[in-house]
Structure 1
Amino acid sequence: MSHPNAFLGPRGRLALAKCVVDDGWSLRRAAERFQVSVATAVRWARRYRELGGNGMEDLPSRPVRSPRRTPARRERRIIALRLNRRWGPARIGYLLGIHPSTVHKVLSRYRLARLAWLDRATGRVIRRYEHDKPGDLVHVDIKKLGRIPDGGGHRVTGRATGNRNKTGTDANRRPGYAYLHNAVDDHSRFAYTEILTDEKKETAAAFWERAHAAFNAAGITVRRVLTDNGSCYRSHTFKDALGPGVKHKRTRPYRPQTNGKVERFNRTMLDEWAYAQPYASETERVAAFPAWLHHYSHTRGHTSLKGQTPASRVTNLRG
């Protein structure tokens, strides 16, 4: 598209065409006056005779016929597979026998939402939200994580050796599970986590009291807490720990996406700490956790914050 104020933009083309058609100038004289070729003068004069002043705009570059374009019936099949099964271009292309890039062009042509924007269960576009201030909402959740036996687990030593390390441990000291109680601020993603031995109501209530104190020390005034419908969070003990100044909200049953920020924190924690390197024992992995948690909140750039750290969004945390 040409600039409207360009020398041979729509207004300049119209003046050139009027000189030839209305004023009777020769094509060579008009071309010399407007510093264009004779062929250009012929084109705009012919366009003016056929379409008038409206013909001075650039025509679309799309061809009149596209014999190699994907048939409409196949396009409808591509769209139906995307909407009904939520498949990507590769799977749709393999099923229909066409290249994934062709499927991608069809999906882009009809402006269908990306799979990353959709809820896989319902196919609806995910509603993303973020509260305006730190403490307006804190996501709380528990992540159950298998402990590492002394000598290393099967992820490092292999299935056979890992099982021997696990069964060879004293019966009173079997690896079992660790319960990571997590609290993540919605606005800043500032996180507080403790590795505890169970998920009972007394444990969850005591964790929240310590987490609340940690958030207050960081300058975050908690106003609302969001949890799932676990029995520990539905107890009166946890309600008493929250106190009258904190409002408690629970997610809809079988809808973990509502508590998505802490769920995403759980995945990051597993990728960057729990399974990031081979640990010889649970003690070694637990010892590495405080440094990682500090790195997450203070020095690690967060993609949803456009590279900022969670601490940079907390008032007065950096002094």
Structure 2
Amino acid sequence: MHTHDLSLWTHDHDFGSVREGHAERRTRWVVALTLGAMLIELTAGWFTGSMALLADGWHMGSHAAALGVAAYAYAFARRHRSDRRFSFGTGKVGSLAGWSSALLLGAGALWMLVESASRFVAPLPIRYAEALLVAVLGLTVNLISAWLLRGDDHDHPGHVHADHNLAAAYLHVLADAATSVLALLALGLGMALGWAFLDPLMGIVGGLLVGSWAFGLARRSAAVLLDADDHGYLARTVRTRIEQDADNQIADLHLWRIGPGGFACIVALVTHAPRPVAHYRALLAQVPGLLHVTIEVNQCHLPACGPPATAARGGACDAG
């Protein structure tokens, strides 16, 4: 019976809260900026009678709502980061929010395509001066927002951190900035050359662009939610660290993301000369991104160890 404290062998499940804290603050600033722009456009549209300003004001409101989802996800993860009901912490809340935002982006892209197609069939008069003012204002707000949301979140060999919630917020801003640029191009040429068809054409181009971004974000965040990524670089690193030590062979390896920049790992290894679990943990201590490691050590009783593929030929170790 243990009569001493177990704190040496326990740990909290707060993975990545420092990084998420910075992202949460930036996202809140962008939500506030977007809401401010929305109120300015709605007020100006009301007093000037401009439907273009009113329409873009409500459009800004829809983006503020989508960005609000990202901000809420950060707040939820922060409030529940010590909740033991979340076995591996709340890191995946961001990926869930990213997937939800991808659906909103996809719906927006579909609306852009349908509305633009309808403008080819039934063109509407365009008030170019007001529309250009709206596009410039929208682009300015989105460039400032993109600067606030900029970060080093990426996912490639050696850098395994990826905040899908922040990526979703950034994509919302980037999508709006792209549509503003396309709108400026279409409106400028339309006003100068009388090419009214450019407005719905650029709408279709923008819808396809935003739709492709939404699909990519949905695919990446869904892979995290379903633990469907093979994590090739990280898996090779873990195998190399373990199998270069003595005659160790990894019989079973599981890796999955538990938050931005954080992975959990389960390693089952076979060896002729078992060492304490702490020895194998030390081998993986410098692997970037490994935050939660569980190791199972099995002693081999056969003359020679080999990889699992040799089991069918009778040459693999018998774990016991």
Structure 2 length-normalised TM: 0.18
Give the structure, 1 or 2, with the largest relative contact order (CA under 8 Å, sep 6 or more): 2
More helix by share: 2
Structure 1 length-normalised TM: 0.18
Give the greater-gyration-radius structure (CA): 1
